[in-house]
Amino acid sequence: MGTLKSMKTMRAKDLDLNKLYKFINQQDKADSEHERIITVPTSALGTLRQELIATLGPERTKGFLLRYGWHCGVSDGIKMKGMSWENENELIWAGPKMHSLHGIVESEPLFTKVDFSNGVLHFEGTWKNSYEAKEYINLFGFSAHPCCHTLVGYASGYLSTIFGKKVIAQEVQCEAMGDEICLCVCKTVDEWDTEFWTKESKYYEPNNISDELDQTYGKLIEERDNLDKTFHIHNRLMKEILRESDLSSIASIQHQITSMPILIEDTNFDLLAVGGLSEQEGLQYSKHMKTVMNTRKNKKQSLKDLDKTILLEVANDHKRLISPIFLHQKIAGYCTFLYPEGTVKELDRMILERAAVACSIYLLNERTRFNTEQRMRGSFLEDLLSQQLPIDEIINRAHNIDFKLNEPYFMIVLNRCNARSTLKEELEFSDQLMANLLTFFKNKQMNILLGQKSRNVMILLSESSISKPELNKKNFCKELLSYCSEKYPRHKFKFGISSNCDSIEEVSNLYEESLTSSKIANHHKNLVFYDDLGIIGILFKSENSREIKRFIDKTIGSLIQEDKNMELTKTLHHYLNNGCNVHKTARVMNFSIGGLRYRLQRLNEILQTDINSPCANYEMYLALQSLIALGELDIDEG
């Protein structure tokens, strides 16, 4: 057998391993012109891959196998270049032939476009019975990604060697993924898109294990230092919690340690505490954040990313590192580091998350304290309503919960108009509403008892506790209604307000009055004062609402049935309200005397009675007032 240089010009199909490699049983050991070849079981190579993945991980193993295949391809490429070929295409096709001769795979070219002079190469081929694919399936099952890494490396190394320019192969189908055959595409680096080459180039660079160990050691040292700092901060925060410090103390400590501005906000990004900034500056940042979040909601952008620590660019000069505060597995607020400029370090994340945990513990303590106090106050209010407490017991329990017995007292019953919601949603809303109401009264330093009964919220307070002189009872109730409406714009509220009494023992009577007022309240008039109801309040308080409606039907039922647009009914109300004086009524209604007399005549005809009769007009006026209280007659529109 001659040397490679002396071999005649040949074709790729004529390749034979005997012409390139020596076998111990065929060649003399001193033969230096042939390279020795050995065989390795495919199962051993599969086990090698398995151990490499266990030791180095899948990413480094891919690089290792690609480079191994690359060097095999380069070795065969050098041999093929030393031989004489009929044409350049034969040299290209020799690569798949060598691949098959080695028993690695059955390789067959599909498409070849080669221009050696212009440096253009595009090669596509199939791989059948890939040992890598079969061993991968045997060891790991089917793969989500192509896994014939040594085959890809071989094709890349071989073509790069014979072409004189870097060529990279890509496996686009793989038997290990469940495809019928493996399919590869080979092109020069220049012809691949930048994104693909940027992603793949790292696998062709040899790893320096020593450098990686040094980098890993450096990272471990950095992580240790970060953990030490985080642990120190965590201890300081826990000490503040044990001292029962508030959120402002937590924010202040965070700023002292990090020198970064920090905001603590609720789920609506209302400011709760600030560190490193004035309160006014903090409010401005919170207001800006609200605008940003409302914009995202309007654009229907997802807000789910706020359930973890993220960096959010709010404006060109304003970045936020935000970490959620959890309470009972739900987000209760957010801790935020402000970054006018600069980059975010991993330590910043760790510190901020510790602050969020401290805030969670604080809110949990506050919620527990609130629930305990609220149960005591609610229980006291329920016992007052039951009228079973002697006065000395009332004084004693009021003292224990710091409820000052300052007369006169009045009660507000707050009722939310029925909304479609599950029982769980209803309970969650009720808890949230009670907490917000308590915060409202706490901020105003008001002396109240808060409780619930039959899905109504009861508020017992003293008129003397309304701190602002310009706020009387009516104005204060309007302010409270406005607060609830703004806090929960999707809900409609009805308020019933009792009269005043000087005895704490009369609380049950106040509850009946406020409950009566809340029942009369409607979407036309959602704030009803018992004092404004007069005799109607007494009638409704007796809970004979069915009898009242029967009285209305008996007295003016024929008019209501006839008067679909309620114009005649309103005329009757104005006429009776002005003492049956035609001239006064005409002025109030801006009517002509003739037009009013015609309407009065129609009323007499429909009602079949003399509306000027004192007995009749008294009953009719009472029926009309009842209609107004029930929300079925709106005189303001008359």
- pTM of whole model > 0.75? no
Does position 19 have pLDDT exceeding 70, yes or no? no
Q: What is the pLDDT of residues 398-455, one digit of tens each?
A: 888 888 888 889 999 998 865 566 777 777 788 888 888 888 888 888 888 988 887 7
Q: What is the mean pLDDT of the chain?
A: 82
Q: How confident is the model at residue 638 (pLDDT cuts 50, 70, 90)?
A: very low
137 against 518, higher pLDDT? 137
Contact residues for 399 (Cβ-Cβ < 8 A; gap 6+)? none
- Is the peptide bond prior to 408 cis by the omega test (within 30 degrees of 0)? yes
Q: What is the pLDDT of residues 515-557, one digit of tens each?
A: 888 877 766 678 888 888 877 777 776 556 677 788 888 888 8
Give the relative orientation of helices 58-81 and 88-101 as an angle to the nearest 10 degrees.
130
Contact residues for 152 (Cβ-Cβ < 8 A; gap 6+)? 66, 69, 146, 169, 170, 171, 184
> What average pLDDT does range 473-484 have in this prediction?
90
- Is the peptide bond prior to 489 cis by the omega test (within 30 degrees of 0)? no
Does position 344 have pLDDT exceeding 80, yes or no? no
What pLDDT, on the 0 to 100 scale, is given for residue 637? 42
* Percent share of the chain, pLDDT over 90: 15
The pairing of beta strand 310-315 with beta strand 318-327? antiparallel
What pLDDT, on the 0 to 100 scale, is given for residue 6? 36
For residues 205 and 59, give the distance between their C-alpha atoms in angstroms, rounded to a whole number. 13
Does position 182 have pLDDT exceeding 90, yes or no? yes
Please state the length of the chain.
638
For residues 626 and 114, give the distance between their C-alpha atoms in angstroms, rounded to a whole number. 98
Q: What is the pLDDT of residues 558-614, one digit of tens each?
A: 888 888 888 888 888 888 888 889 889 888 888 899 888 888 898 888 888 888 888
What pLDDT, on the 0 to 100 scale, is given for residue 69? 92
Position of tokens 């929960």? 488
For residues 242 and 245, give the distance between their C-alpha atoms in angstroms, rounded to a whole number. 8
What pLDDT, on the 0 to 100 scale, is given for residue 154? 94
Does position 185 have pLDDT exceeding 90, yes or no? yes
Residue 182 · residue 175 · CB < 8 Å: yes
